[in-house]
Amino acid sequence: MADVRVTYDRQANAAYVYFTDPEAPVKVAHCYPCDPVAVDGMINLDFDDQGRLVGIEVLAASSKLPERLLDAAERLDMEQP
């Protein structure tokens, strides 16, 4: 299985799941917001200019993603657990 990079900002309670090589960042060409009512939160799907899914932004991440994933994520905030 390919490595997936996950970042998490505890203060913002926001996570980002990257499907791209961190050494070769991809420009997001289109963001598709999922219906916040349907998913009980805000999740954005980011696509490149060729229509490939390059990342997922998850707001209210602590209620949407497994705790073990957030614990293992790269921290973007200064606060440590």
Residue spans per domain, the chain: 5-75
Report which secondary-structure segment, H or E, holds 36. helix 36-39
Query: pTM of the full predicted structure?
Result: 0.84
Per-residue pLDDT band for 72 (boundaries 50, 70, 90) equals: very high
Per-residue pLDDT band for 22 (boundaries 50, 70, 90) equals: confident
Mean pLDDT of 27-37: 88
Indicate the residue type of 14: A
What integer pLDDT is reported at residue 41 of this predicted model? 75
Per-residue pLDDT band for 78 (boundaries 50, 70, 90) equals: low
pLDDT of 33 over the 60 cut: yes
For the chain, the straight-line distance linking the first and the last C-alpha, in angstroms and rounded, comes to 28
